Chains A and B, each alone.
Chain A
Amino acid sequence: MSLVIHGENPETIIRIAGAARRFFPDSPAQAVCLAPPGDEELRRLGGAGVETVHVLPENLTSQGPAVVVAALAMAVAKLGASTILLSATKYGREIGPRLAQRLGGSYATECIHVESVGEGLLVKRLVLGGAYQASLQLNARPYVIGVQAVADSAGGGAGIPRLERLDVDVDAPKIELLEVVKPEASHVDLERAEFIVGVGRGFKRREDLSMAEELARILGAELGCSRPVSGDLKWMSEDRHIGLSGKRVRPKTYLALGISGQIQHLVGIRDSKLIIAVNTDPNAPIMAESDYAVVGDIYKIVPPLIERLREKLGRR
Chain B
Amino acid sequence: MPDIVVCVKQTVDVYQLKPHPETLEPVFSQAQSKISDFDLNALEEALRIREKGGGRVSVVSAGPSINQLLIRETLAMGADEAHIISHPLLSTYDGRVTATVLSKLVEKAGRWDLILCGEASLDNSDYQTGPRLAEIFGVPHLAYVTKLEISDGRLKAWKSMEDGLHVASCSMPAVVTVGLEINTPRLPSLLMIRAATKKPIHEYRLSDLGLTEEELNPSVTLRELKALKVERRRVKLEGKPEELAEKLADILVREALAR
Contacts and interface: CB of A to CB of B under 8 A. Distances in A.
A132 B225 contact: yes
Contacts of B120: 245
Nearest to A178: B167
A89 B162 contact: yes
Contacts of A181: 164-167
Contacts of B156: 178
Nearest to B144: A90
A98 B218 CA distance: 17
Interface of B: 12, 14-15, 17, 19, 26, 93-96, 99, 119-120, 122-132, 134-136, 138-144, 146, 156, 160-170, 174, 179-181, 218-228, 230, 232-239, 241-242, 244-253, 255-257
Given A69-B135, A109-B127, A129-B14, A176 B169 contact: yes
B44 to A, nearest CB: 15
A131 interface: yes
B162 A173 contact: no
A116 interface: no
Contacts, number: 276
A250 to B, nearest CB: 12
B164 A293 contact: no
Given A101-B131, A139-B219, A237-B164, A132 B228 contact: yes
A294 B141 contact: no
B235 A293 contact: yes
Contacts of A282: 236, 238
Given A97-B95, A175-B169, A135 B236 contact: no
Nearest to B96: A101
Interface in A83-112: 89-91, 93-98, 100-102, 105-110
Contacts of B144: 90, 94
B221 A137 contact: yes
Contact of A296 (B128, B244, B249): B244
B115 to A, nearest CB: 13
A94 B131 contact: yes
A174 B140 contact: yes
Given A102-B135, A127-B125, A301-B244, 9 more contacts: A89-B162, A101-B96, A127-B225, A129-B125, A135-B223, A135-B224, A231-B180, A238-B162, A289-B232
A293 B249 contact: no
Contacts of B95: 97, 100, 107
A180 B249 contact: no
Nearest to B171: A173
B127 A133 contact: no
Contacts of B167: 177-181
B220 A106 contact: yes
A285 B228 CA distance: 15
